[in-house]
Structure 1
Amino acid sequence: MSVSRQTKAHTFPPNFGIQDVPTNGTILHVRTGGEGPAVVLLHGYAETGDMWAPMAADLAEDHQVIVPDLRGLGLSAKPAGGFDKKTQAGDIAGILDALHAGTIDLVAHDIGNMVAFQFAVQYPERIRRLVMIDAPVPGLGPWEEILKSPMLWHFRFGGPDMERLVAGRERIYLDRFWNEFSAQPDRFDEAARAHYAQLYALPGAMHSGFAQFAAFDQDADDNRAWLATGARLRMPVLAVGGEKSFGTTMAAVMRAAATDVHESVLPDSGHWVMEENPQATIELVRGFLKDAV
């Protein structure tokens, strides 16, 4: 399948490079651009690294910006396993090594949060600042209460027929999330929906997406095991929730595991912050990366 790259909001500046980077037993599709302190942007489910294009363009004015597609998603390889977030943190470490990036600022959304948290656990010396946007982290804080929400039925969607049920119907399945988790669904526009639906219709993409969720129990066990040691994240953390989505709960999640949490609620937005209120999201992140020490 030929995937269109013509969606303006998801097009990276022409001076960004694109490469497929072997890492940790798989290959991740990575965009890089700019010079300065390194910042890594991690996407979540129902989107790819393309969600970050406007922020990447802004941050590249004074940062080296690194934007991968997560294991199995977007244009990254579709391996059979390794979808626990502890393994995927190793994917990111391998990219940094390949690009000769030392310490980084790390910005994440949705499932990207879960990978970012494990990266912070395993490689705390490599992170200057951490931004976590609008999604829980398995095993942290109110995780068990969060799981009871009927809105999160897809966390447990599984079984032998799940891929067959959505094959050829990827857009129908994804529209459910884009509509229900938006403050105003029309802000997740048709061009963006068509773009991501194409990417999730690629062979192996929906299997990989389901595998990201199926790993949550292992992720929770891994995170709880780390918490049980008494360890805490020491780097400054910006916890951002959409006003019409996770709100202040994002900060509550991170206070369960970090000592220096800065709370922020993104106004006029649901979950899809880079579709619904991209400028405010960029300003929040840029301000934190500049001011936090």
Structure 2
Amino acid sequence: MVRMVVMGLFLFLASPAGAQVMPFPASFATRPIATNGTTLHVRIGGKGPAVVLLHGYGETGDMWAPLAAELMRDHTVIVPDLRGMGLSGRPAAGYDKKTQGQDIASVLDALKIAKADIVAHDIGNMVAFAFVFEHPDRATRLVLMDAPVPGIGPWEEVLKNPLLWHFRFGGPDMERLVAGRERIYLDRFWNEFSATPAKFSEESRRHYAALYAMPGAMHAGFSQFAAFDQDAIDNKAFLAATGKLGLPVLAVGGSASFATMMATDAQAGFTNVQGVVIDNSGHWLMEEQPAATAKAIRAFLDKPL
């Protein structure tokens, strides 16, 4: 309890006054869960079948508050910050997505949860992909939102897009360039990947910029991207070993971002894929169109298996 209070106080002090995103419902608890050589900051609330929400780069688990409020009515909602991000630990290694998939399995073990639906966005997609291939008996449904998976489908073509320059941006010189300028760096993504940049609010920008300015946060973020080559090797090995998986998958794309390519990408790894495009949205679906995105996810999770 003391540790959770200290972590919460640290976040409050690290964030500029008023720089808060939509809070999780008051009934949600937060707890640190030791897992796989690090500690993840995890939010837990609701009651019913489990659903795990995995965030991406430029945000933290905080992005899921609107969806968590909707799903908690009939689900146990589990929202970790990925390793190195948000209020989770920042170990020196383990940023390949295979290792982070094991992080999620360990969180479920700690909570004594055997199976869960997985909803993911951006880098969360990559962690979710590794998790379901290593633990196919533990995932009931999968939602992948607006980001490719290394080594799968049109990955090599995606890498040629100049908007994705940041995939190869990292290292100590880059960290020194960005130090103290985290907001400038992150604004580039929030603006260029939005259909309407103003939809990514100033409050959210200040909140996440403060989190990414914390000691070691940018180094950990660059490490997520630096692991993509290994992720591609691992993902190709997963597919070669098992073939495509048959669990139900919802592939969600923003109309001004990956759009229908999300379904094409998902079909490279799964046989039971439903695609949906969210209108008037870029990459930041939960910021730009939270109601429409939550509605699509809810409809998918409500379908009987």
TM-score tier, shorter chain, comes to over 0.9
Contact kept? 2:19, 2:206, Cα under 8 Å: no
Q: 2:119 aligned with 1:107, yes or no?
A: yes
Contact kept? 1:236, 1:292, Cα under 8 Å: no
Deviations 1:70-110 (A, max 9, x none): 00000001100100000000000000011111110000000
Deviations 1:172-194 (A, max 9, x none): 00000000000000000100000
Aligned-residue sequence identity (percent) comes to 64
Q: 1:213-224 to 2 correspondence within 5 Å?
A: 213-224=225-236
Deviations 1:125-178 (A, max 9, x none): 001100000000000000000000000000011243011110010000000000
The Cα of 1:9 is off from its aligned counterpart by 4.1
Deviations 1:36-92 (A, max 9, x none): 000000000000000000100110011000000000000001100100000000000
Unpaired runs of at least 5, structure 2 = 1-9
Contact kept? 1:178, 1:185, Cα under 8 Å: yes
Contact kept? 1:9, 1:54, Cα under 8 Å: no
Q: From 177, 181, 205, give the equivalent of 1:165.
A: 177
Q: Cα RMSD over matched residues?
A: 1.2
Amino acid at match of 1:42: L
Distance in 1, Cα, partners of 2:184 & 2:22: 21
Contact kept? 1:43, 1:110, Cα under 8 Å: yes
Distance in 2, Cα, partners of 1:10 & 1:27: 24
Indicate the residue corresponding to 1:116 in structure 2.
Answer: 128
Q: From 183, 194, 212, give the equivalent of 1:200.
A: 212
Distance in 2, Cα, partners of 1:15 & 1:129: 25
Name the count of aligned residue pairs: 293
Distance in 2, Cα, partners of 1:66 & 1:282: 16
Q: Aligned pair in 2 of structure 1 residues 9, 168: CA closer, same or farther (>3 Å)?
A: closer
Q: Aligned pair in 2 of structure 1 residues 32, 226: CA closer, same or farther (>3 Å)?
A: same
Q: Aligned pair in 2 of structure 1 residues 141, 23: CA closer, same or farther (>3 Å)?
A: same
Q: From 271, 278, 282, give the equivalent of 1:259.
A: 271
Q: Aligned pair in 2 of structure 1 residues 292, 252: CA closer, same or farther (>3 Å)?
A: farther
Indicate the residue corresponding to 1:3 in structure 2.
Answer: 14
Unpaired runs of at least 5, structure 1 = none
Q: 2:69 aligned with 1:35, yes or no?
A: no
State the TM-score, normalized to the length of structure 1.
Answer: 0.98
Q: 2:94 aligned with 1:82, yes or no?
A: yes
Indicate the residue corresponding to 1:179 in structure 2.
Answer: 191
Contact kept? 1:104, 1:126, Cα under 8 Å: yes
